Amino acid sequence: RMDQALLLVRNALPAEGLRLSAASAACHQCSYQFLAFIPASNGSARKPSVTVAVDTQHPLTLLLDGFSEDRELCKIHYHFGESGNYSLEVKTLSRSTQTVSCDLIINEDPINSYLPILFAFLVYMGILAIVIVGRLLMKIDPVRNWVCKKLNPRETDRLINSELGSPNRADSLSSNPSQHLWSAVSRQRLRSLDTFRGLSLIIMVFVNYGGGKYWFFKHESWNGKVQLRQFVFIMGTSVSLSLSSMLRWGSSKKKVLGKILWRSFLLILLGIIVVNPNYCLGPLSWDNLRIPGVLQRLGFTYLVVAALELLFTGAGAESVTVSYMPCPALQDILPYWPQWIFILTLEAIWLCLTFFLPVPGCPRGYLGPGGIGDFGKYPNCTGGAAGYIDRLLLGEKHIYQHPSSSVLYQTNMPYDPEGILGTINTIFMAFLGLQAGKIILLYKDQHKQIMSRFFIWSIVMGIISAALTKCSKDEGFIPINKNLWSISYVTTMSCFAFILLLLIYYLVDVKRLWSGAPFFYPGMNSILVYIGHEVFENYFPFKWKMQDSQSHAEHLTQNLTATTLWVIISYVLYRRRIFWKI
């Protein structure tokens, strides 16, 4: 099967059976799991053997114990290759010393399962090269005229025969007032923000579709691995800019608050509908309706952050000058001290609940996955306080039933990665995105100041992350964990978000070296693309029956095709000026 290899274990020991167990290097402090029992040879010429399937995603530690004497015979640390065929020969080197030898032999070489990624990369790079060459050729007048004539010969002839000659861009805009208005609005809008949002969204869509079934594209089983999924961050940035615009154009705070409430309600409602599909499964039962979800969390986060910004910000607040500030270096923080007090209070609540809330049967401050993690001491403590609060307030049947920890850590408890406690840190991440928006407003058109502030914030977030995690995956005070939405996860994601926003802002809005395509288009229709990819996930052409369901190449082709289709759809909608806003 996919991500598996075959291991044939031969026992040449004359009078002792073998017990084979294994532990994955990705499973932190996990107890060994029994794989097979190999009987003793008992002097027979034919050596007993057992074939087992072993995981190839991460290095494994194989442990061979003597069954009768219960002694450790050998321990092997090895990273098996996908579809490889291996043999493990266990024999006695010396009868006098009872020295046991364990030799691992490769019978059939594994395949290179990463070649499809290289091929896909080359295909997309080829498409990019064709687009770039095409754009360069279109700048040559004879080529452009030839293409225009082939595409629309009547219009080309009319322009050639016209006494006015070929109209320039300004003439065409002035002849169409609505086109001019559209162009002006497009120029004022920061394309870097939509590009950032689109990039985060497309990565999210690709991962949700399966990511080619590669382990490094999947959601982490528990601690570690940060993927570029800063949708929450850029939502906060957009809140700052949109509220400032509405207040500047004369909208009352009461009217703006009404829009915030309505949008939050719609996001939460759509989220509940999307995560509870019943398509061909019959009527949905209220007894197992899942309440938390991505859109629900986004809706509530938007409500809190937007209301907080609206409460403490007035029209023209971004125009405060440096000379009036007691500390110019903190002018994007000090005027908003009530907001920071509110956010820090929320973080204090998260810390107190996470580390001091008593959870039945679990140690205080437990942040582990439960199951076989921590040597199986706390099998029912998945998520610690976060999981307990969800089960207590929402009920076990109303949260996610198949968490990412269930495979590697063999957990049995339901756990929702979009649960109640983690929403506090989601609000914090959106608030950091809000901070980026305030920097853009405060230093309007001062590109060096904006980029330097982004860089400083990235460094600060990185230092906090290093302190919290001790620069390790599992040994820090608070590990990076998306399932918990730990504070270190937020600071690490924000560190990358500030740097990524800096780079995109520089390339797209400062130097104009990149238009933001193709990510700009899904960024302009983010809600539609997200809901659409969830609703139509199992429909053609986003999914089809595969010839070999155990092939990374087929899964990658299908997932990339589906993701690319949403980029194309968003481009078509953009060209037709169709935008679904909530």
Residues annotated as catalytic are: 219
Identify the sign of the CA torsion 189, 190, 191, 197: negative
**Is the bond preceding residue 116 a cis peptide, omega within 30 degrees?**
no
Do the bridges between strand 33-38 and strand 18-24 make them parallel or antiparallel, or are there none, so unpaired?
A: antiparallel
φ, ψ of residue 50 in degrees (nearest 5): -140, 135
Q: What's the rounded Cα separation, in Å, for the pair 267 and 67?
A: 58
Q: What's the rounded Cα separation, in Å, for the pair 456 and 449?
A: 10
CB 41 within 8 A of CB 13: yes
60: β partners: 24, 78
Report CA-CA distances (Å) from 235 to 121, 301, 437, 498.
29, 9, 10, 13
Scan for tokens 């320039």, then name that residue. Answer: 168
Nearest to 543 by CA among 524, 520, 523, 566: 566
Largest CA distance in the chain: 107
Nearest to 353 by CA among 388, 381, 326, 378: 388
How remote is the C-alpha of 86 from its chain's centroid?
35
Q: What's the rounded Cα separation, in Å, for the pair 363 and 375?
A: 14
Q: What's the rounded Cα separation, in Å, for the pair 209 and 221?
A: 17
CB 7 within 8 A of CB 36: no
**Is the bond preceding residue 358 a cis peptide, omega within 30 degrees?**
no
Q: What's the rounded Cα separation, in Å, for the pair 347 and 263?
A: 25
92: β partners: 100
Nearest to 52 by CA among 15, 1, 92: 1
Q: What's the rounded Cα separation, in Å, for the pair 334 and 242?
A: 21
Here the tokens at position 288 are: 């197992």
Q: Report which residue type is found at 54.
A: V
Q: Report which residue type is found at 193.
A: L
Q: What's the rounded Cα separation, in Å, for the pair 562 and 531?
A: 14
Mapping DSSP to helix (H, G, I), strand (E, B) and coil, where does residue 124 land?
helix
Scan for tokens 């499964």, then name that residue. Answer: 281
Q: What's the rounded Cα separation, in Å, for the pair 340 and 427?
A: 12
Here the tokens at position 430 are: 């959106």
**Is the bond preceding residue 518 a cis peptide, omega within 30 degrees?**
yes
State the burial class of residue 259 (Cβ atoms within 10 Å of its Cβ: 0-12, 13-18, 19+): middle
State the burial class of residue 198 (Cβ atoms within 10 Å of its Cβ: 0-12, 13-18, 19+): buried
Identify the sign of the CA torsion 420, 423, 425, 427: negative
